[in-house]
Amino acid sequence: MMLVKRILILLPVLIFVLLLQSFFWVPTYDEQAKGNPERLEEFIAASIGDARILNPILHADASSGTIVDKVFEGLIDRDEELRFRGRLAESWDIYEEAYFYVNDVMGPVAGQIEKLIMDAKGQSSYNGSSLGESLQNIKAIEVLPAETQAEELQVSGPAVEDLKPEQITLNISIRSPERIKLTLGRVDQELFENLEELLGKEYFSSFPAEKYIDIVQSGHSGRMAELAQKYLPSVEHNPVIIFNLRKGVKFHDGEEFDSGDVRFTFESVMDVANLSPRMSDFEPVKRLEEAGRYKVRVIYKRLYSPAFGTWGMGILPEHLLNKEALEKEAMAKGEEPGKFGLRDSDFNRKPVGTGPFAFREWKSDQYIMLDRHDDYWEGAANYKNYTYRVVPDLLTQEMEFYGGAIDSYGVQPHQVERLGNDDAYQSFSGLSFGYTYIGYNMRREMFSDKRVRKALGMAIDVDKIIKYVMYNEAERITGPFVKQTDYYDASIVPLPYDPEGALKLLAEAGWKRNGDGRLEKEGKPFAFTLITNGGNDLRKSILAIAQDAWKKIGIDVKTDIVEWTVFLGKHVNTGNFDALILGWSMGIDPDLYQIWHSSQTNPQQLNFVGFENAEADDLIVKIRQEYDYDRQVQYCNKLHNIIADEQPYTFLYVGKWTAVLDKKIVILDRMPSGEEKIAKIEPTRTGNYSFYFNKWVKLSDNPVFDMEQ
């Protein structure tokens, strides 16, 4: 017994000694450089979790995204000042085609309307007004003739008792009147509102669409309004983006990129069989046209303000993934071609893109290796190789960083002060674009009441988490928008730490303490499991704090820490969980459709907590359609308030990130003259210190910079 006690006492010391041995066994950075100069040409990154799928239209995790961003490239991205810049597209043009039906109830016929608009366009009396701005924005006007067409559609038949309604074929005849087409120089969301000043109040809302539709079958007159809205909308905004593609760009296999690859990528996203989490981003597209080998025309079926930014998604190579290629792969594997899809392809583990690095090898749960793409259109990167190692333990990551076995390290909160002041390193820090949260599966009965969700949040001392787990390297957050933007409503007060108040809310919801102090409702105990992913000590600590806090108010909470790929595949993507601890990394754009809209609650989609709120859905759509910044901010603030009130998440904090690199890593610019200039790595306005990664290089000795740097 005494021997066992001694072993237990010595165990931490033994572990520390082993770690020290491991640390000193790893050759130092200088030793590696001198013994193997090629090490200077390789960048090694580390992650707690492996990638899952290396496909730009299918991936949904950060690890996969890191590799995808190096292997693939989109049509556009943002520069260091957050302005859009061309990548696979070298230029673009954005305008609008707007349509409205002639409303014979209001009087003027098509020809008169055309003349009325053109005459008004030339009148100085409208100068400076909203109508005047809309009129001057009209570049062309065209009268489209009346049409008659027949449509056949499948609809649900009338329900008979408790039987499921059968699908029936409904035949309709549409006699659409003349239509006016306006070509605008820019998107004008207020066009029709302004034109009513010219054409008459309620000109568009009073359009009698139903009188132009005939349903052949009897007994379906109740569908007229629905059909009229679908087939004869009184007005239609069609924003248009024309992308002029960059010529001569090569995929890693040497095939040239062109408009067919853009079309194929779009079609692959929209193919329901592929279950792309990006489908909702491109659903507003009415059609995409190849307007030549190096030109693409994208027409949207409605206003959609995030439209342009969605084209930052990586582009797939059509020649490797089209129907013929997939059929050939299926046959080679002995599988049925008709059941073999994009998600089944080996491409997802051996990707081919147009990005600065080409895929070499993936050894699951160990590493992914990339090689420099020497034919990259913008010029080859300075690093010859990029290795992404899976190192689940953060302490091991730290030791390997000190030894030079990895080149960057995401500093943990308790290390910020020490490493930030270490002369051997250069450090970068800022407030993250994202947040950490506890998410509740609202499909579970116990989490269906917002009073319960709010009570769970009030039982946790989040300030304690920030102080003792995050070492004050974090801030409270109350909602789903980036805290540094106007979209985030800073006036919303975080939930207070109030266990007694939490018990009162739970009592209102029917959960009361029994004789043992445990909460129960109708004889059923309040019990659930809280899970998170392995390899993250911060989330592990939050797990313990939340469990302890909830147990104190009488909730039976079990916890589980699950390996990352299992966590995503078995629990998150399938909705198979009670509650979980996770985080979101976010972009600046306020479009939250994928995470919060009620249509995105299915397996493999991102609203995995099952949040459904009709008012929130309406605001999410409005935010997507709003081109006026101030109005968009108002909608975002209102949505923030709804989500903060509903508490589908307990919003915990937004962390402050700090990353460190060896000081020998610098930016190297090679001038056309052959001269080489080095510069310090400086973060962009948003804190992105790796923006110029392709120009990074390792020096064998500490750099000497010019005085002005």
Q: What is the pLDDT of residue 156?
A: 66
Which of 190-204, 213-227, 667-681, 691-705 has the least mean pLDDT?
213-227
Find the helix or strand (DSSP H, E) in which 238 lies: strand 235-245
Degrees, nearest 5: CA angle 84-372-704: 80
Position 17 pLDDT exceeds 70: no
The DSSP call for residue 569 is: I
Phi/psi at 244 (nearest 5 deg)? -95, 110
**What is the pLDDT at residue 654?**
95
How far apart, in whole angstroms, are the C-alpha atoms of residue 349 and residue 368?
Answer: 10
pLDDT band at 165 (very low <50, low <70, confident <90, very high): low
Instruction: Report, as an integer, the average pLDDT of 153-174.
Output: 66
Total length of the chain: 709
More confident residue, 223 or 94: 94
Q: Within the chain, which residue ranges are assigned CATH 3.10.105.10? A: 434-657
The two tokens of residue 311 are 């084209």
Most confident of 18-32, 332-346, 657-671: 332-346
What digits encode the pLDDT tens for the residues 284-307? 999 999 999 999 999 999 999 889
Degrees to nearest 5, angle at CA 29 with 28 and 34: 100
| pLDDT over 90 percentage in the chain | 68
Q: What is the CA radius of gyration of the chain?
A: 29
Type of residue found at 100 = F
Tens of pLDDT, residues 121-149: 989 889 889 999 999 999 999 999 999 98
> How much is the pTM?
0.75
pLDDT of residue 524: 95
Query: pLDDT band for position 69 (50/70/90)?
Result: very high
**pLDDT band, residue 32 (cuts 50/70/90):** low
State yes or no: pLDDT of 116 exceeds 50: yes
Quick: pLDDT tens for 509-554: 999 999 899 999 999 999 999 999 998 889 999 999 999 999 999 9
Tell me the per-residue pLDDT of 418-438, one tens digit each, with 9 for 90 and over. Answer: 877 788 888 888 888 889 999
Quick check: 709 pLDDT over 60?
no
State residue 703's pLDDT score.
85
Helix (H) / strand (E) containing 175: strand 167-176
**Inter-residue contact 284 to 605 (CB < 8 Å):** no
Q: With 80 as the cut, is the pLDDT of residue 175 above it?
A: yes
Tell me: pLDDT of 29 over 80: no
Query: Rounded CA gap, 632 and 185, in Å?
Result: 22
**pLDDT(31) > 70:** no
Amino acid of residue 284? P
The rounded mean pLDDT for the chain is: 89
pLDDT at 707 over 80: no
- Contact of 289 with 267, CB cutoff 8 Å: no
> Is residue 688 pLDDT above 80, yes or no?
yes
According to the model, what pLDDT value does residue 51 have?
A: 95
CB 699 within 8 A of CB 668: no
For position 420, what pLDDT does the model report?
74
Write out pLDDT tens, residues 589-616.
899 999 999 999 999 899 999 999 999 9
Token pair 């609809």 in the structure block, residue: 155
pLDDT of res. 611: 97
> In this predicted structure, what is the pLDDT of residue 100?
96
CATH architecture of the domain with range 434-657: Roll (3.10)
Contact 148, 175 (CB under 8 A): yes
What's the pLDDT at 619?
96
Q: Of all helices (H) and strands (E), which one includes residue 173?
A: strand 167-176
